[in-house]
Structure 1
Amino acid sequence: MVPEEARLHIVVVGAGLSGIAAAISAALSGHSVDVVEQAKELAEVGAGLQITPNASRLLKYWKLPDSLWESAAEPTKVTVHRYSGEILAHESSFDKNIRAKYNASFVDLHRVDLQKALFARAKDLGVTFHLNEKVENLDFEKVTVSTATGNHYTGDLIIAADGLWSRCREAFMGHKDEPIPTGDLAYRIVLKADQISDPDLKSLVENPEVHFWAGPGAHAVAYSIRGGQMFNIVLLVPDNLPPGVSRQAGSVDEMRELFVGWDPILIRFLTYVDSVDKWKLMHHGEMENWVNDASNLVFIGDSCHPMLPYLAQGANSSLEDGAVLGLLLGHMTNKAQLPRILRLYESLRKSRGEAIVRETFKQRHDFHMPNGEEQEKRDQIFLSQLGTEIKGAFPSRWTCPEVQPWLYGYDAIKEVETAVARNKELFFTKPQRRNCCQIL
């Protein structure tokens, strides 16, 4: 816990995963935290999330309730299929292998279960939430966030955690900065096990695994959540939403038509879908800086490095950001250290966040290849190592021995410990005080 003279009043803009993670981590470090969120309530909406070891270890560290882990599904197998169904890659005992390598688990959760657990933990730590507060202005001289209701929230530091359409980002840059379409959209589907009558499909739901289907210009991923009571399916396909529309009700018939000729198992799952929404997938270019010149605004999560779902790292990286920032702030001994601590946070997180973004686009390329020579070479790489220990670059990053270690093996807690040890002059030097009796 920081000493009283180093205690900050922090205003977090946004109560998504990154915002609540930062609030928890900062509160554990002894700071006072207010979270400003435009939603009227933290509604029970959303779909599945894949929480990889780099983030699951943080959830344990934050002592989230047992109910969260009871709601998780830990996949025992990971399989990559060619779109028509043939197996390209398969890892059995995936759960045991992951735990052995990273001393943390790979779990699939419903976003609502994670958000509720984080929200409850934050409130237990004394974090105050202000809902139905749409941010309109930021005053960096007064370090104040003003909302449409006329309320003002002032502190020592503003944490921008307001996502892809960040108002903080616009205020920082001084102009509109709208996201860029990627050319893809997502159909997000959640099925309940008890609505599936097909015994083979129901068995797949109740015995958690992860399945990918890689096809021309599109791919699909499916996995169990809620301990095998639900099945989450995400279909990534070419974007046909009108310009300016980010979400729209979709046609089930249109969706099914896109997957004619794909694996019969996937098609059978889609017969149980009775409604679906289409989500435009968008991104931003890299930001030059994540901290403003006054060192009272710092960016985290999708507000500074939005991630597409091709590697399932958006949530995980956001949790990492919040953890690292809060842990660094926990080593403060005086407020004068804040500018350098924020720059240290930026140096630790910016390169990793942007590297994950780049790797995400590479995964999209490898899973969306049109039929042809490049796709045949990809499949040969897959098939040549089927049933053997994978070596070298691999088209599925979930089991790639070159990517998985730095992605899943990252430990935010150790990262901060190492950074603090390397920057002793920042954290362990007391501020100079003038002796009142000193002869000038």
Structure 2
Amino acid sequence: MPPQSDIHLDVIVIGAGISGLAAAIETALSGHHVVVFEAAGGLHEIGAGIIITPNSSRILKRWGLSDSLWASTTESAPLAIRSYTGRLLVSDGDFCKTLKERYNAPFAFLHRIDLQTALYARAKELGVGFQFGTRISNVNFETGEIISQSGVKTRGDLVIAADGLWSLCRAHFLPRDFEGVPRPTGDLAYRVVLTLDRIEDPELREWIANPRMSMWIGPKSHVVGYSLRKGTELNLVLVTPDDLPADVSRQAGSADEMRALFKNWDPILNRFLACVHSVKKWKLIHRKEMRRWIHTSENSNFVFVGDSCHPMLPYMAQGANSAIEDGAVIGRLLLHIQTKYQIGKALGMYEQLRKPRGDAIVKETFRQVSRHTATHSRRSTADIRE
């Protein structure tokens, strides 16, 4: 039996995404009673593939997630980076293996819903309660009371806001800083998942069935692809300039339009795109940095985790990984409190530990955008000269 806190808090988590589930698991492991409130009617798939890096995979291993999750994980995948024409730029057959040996934890590819399902199952095993289909309309930051749209009031010793990029908690917490909607970056992502059983081309089937991570770098755009679910699916993310209306964050896209944008790219990429029947377009957006991640008062009892306080662009694959770290840190700090009056101290330590790291990663993702743009320009010119 793992060590547990000397007291048992009633903890409310708002949001059942990765950050909320992570916070719920670690907080429950610390001996506290946790209830998660989620607006959706159940777990739902957002995105598709997800890259789990060693900084969070070691946490997931410690949490004892199901064997079926790890059985579906792709770990041994060579890396290949190509120019948009298909010219090989970098190749590393031991990429995942090297990272695993260096950090003693896997670098892995998962389907997001597989991870969420495993986190949910583990939380349930630990006694975490779930209230699905419950949208929160108001939060009292002084008392720790939340009110649902139906008028039901619930009070906790601590409220953890894990309600994502469009956080209602953030809107109420920082009304003067709240900008109405997050700000666009100028890019969007086409997200595609292809299944092996729908592809007849032998070479394309081999690409999927023998897991690999591939990147194509081109003018104003780039593509990332990797195998999922033990080589039975291929996840493709194609990042290109944003053409969605200002008030639209995501919508169904046109497969023909997507193919037209990448028609001069690597022939094998275009053969994959020819297999696509439907596609989603996601505007890549960000938020202004928050001054505080906690409510500061004599009886501090409110804290943010994950995208609600540090949404991250996908260029470093750290959004979900940082959210898992957030949940692990806040839950582990709650292990050491001995009275309710120490909640504020634990939250202050959480902010000191996590905010500088989270804000630094967010800033680094923007620097990655600038590097991608410069690299696109140099390498595109080189390809034309060839």
Aligned residue among 235, 239, 255 for 1:236: 239
Amino acid of the structure 2 residue aligned with 1:39:
A
- 1:5-84 residue pairs with structure 2 within 5 A? 6-44=7-45, 46-84=47-85
Structure 1 length as normaliser, TM-score? 0.83
Determine the structure 1 residue equivalent to 2:341: 336
Determine the structure 1 residue equivalent to 2:320: 315
Aligned residue among 240, 251, 254 for 2:254: 251
Amino acid of the structure 1 residue aligned with 2:174:
M
- 1:29-428 residue pairs with structure 2 within 5 A? 29-44=30-45, 46-175=47-176, 176-177=178-179, 178-294=181-297, 295-369=300-374, 372=377
Question: Secondary structure of 1:63's partner?
Answer: coil
Displacement after TM superposition at 1:235 (Å): 0.5
Pairs aligned (count): 376
Displacement after TM superposition at 1:368 (Å): 3.2
Displacement after TM superposition at 1:212 (Å): 0.8
* Change in 2 beyond 3 A, CA 1:343/1:265: same
Give the greater-gyration-radius structure (CA).
Answer: 1
Structure 1 residues 131-154: Cα deviation after superposition (integer angstroms, max 9, x where no partner):
111110011232111111222221
Partners of 1:215 and 1:369 within 8 A in 2: no
Displacement after TM superposition at 1:370 (Å): 7.0
Amino acid of the structure 2 residue aligned with 1:116:
T
Amino acid of the structure 1 residue aligned with 2:310:
H
Displacement after TM superposition at 1:376 (Å): 6.7
Partners of 2:242 and 2:283 within 8 A in 1: yes
Amino acid of the structure 2 residue aligned with 1:359:
E
8-17 or 92-101, which deviates more: 92-101
Amino acid of the structure 2 residue aligned with 1:346:
E
* Change in 2 beyond 3 A, CA 1:371/1:343: closer
Displacement after TM superposition at 1:265 (Å): 1.3
* Change in 2 beyond 3 A, CA 1:373/1:72: closer
Amino acid of the structure 2 residue aligned with 1:91:
D
Instruction: Give the whole-Å Cα distance in 1 for the aligned partners of 2:103 and 2:381.
Output: 33
Structure 1 segments unaligned to the other structure (5+ residues) = 378-440
Structure 1 residues 261-313: Cα deviation after superposition (integer angstroms, max 9, x where no partner):
11111111100000111111110121111011132110110001001111111
Structure 1 residues 389-409: Cα deviation after superposition (integer angstroms, max 9, x where no partner):
xxxxxxxxxxxxxxxxxxxxx
Partners of 1:75 and 1:108 within 8 A in 2: no
367-376 or 249-258, which deviates more: 367-376
Instruction: Give the whole-Å Cα distance in 2 for the aligned partners of 1:58 and 1:15.
Output: 18
Which segments of structure 1 move beyond 4 Å, counting only runs of 4 or more? 370-377
* Change in 2 beyond 3 A, CA 1:313/1:3: closer
Question: Secondary structure of 2:336's partner?
Answer: coil
Q: What is the RMSD computed on CA atoms of the aligned residues?
A: 1.6
Displacement after TM superposition at 1:75 (Å): 3.6
Amino acid of the structure 2 residue aligned with 1:302:
D
Displacement after TM superposition at 1:95 (Å): 2.5
Structure 2 segments unaligned to the other structure (5+ residues) = none
Structure 2 length as normaliser, TM-score? 0.94
Instruction: Give the whole-Å Cα distance in 1 for the aligned partners of 2:320 and 2:51.
Output: 8
Determine the structure 2 residue equivalent to 1:380: none
Determine the structure 2 residue equivalent to 1:431: none
Partners of 1:13 and 1:36 within 8 A in 2: yes
Displacement after TM superposition at 1:44 (Å): 4.6
Instruction: Give the whole-Å Cα distance in 1 for the aligned partners of 2:72 and 2:379.
Output: 40
Partners of 2:14 and 2:162 within 8 A in 1: yes
Question: Secondary structure of 1:236's partner?
Answer: strand
Displacement after TM superposition at 1:53 (Å): 0.7
Question: Secondary structure of 2:230's partner?
Answer: helix
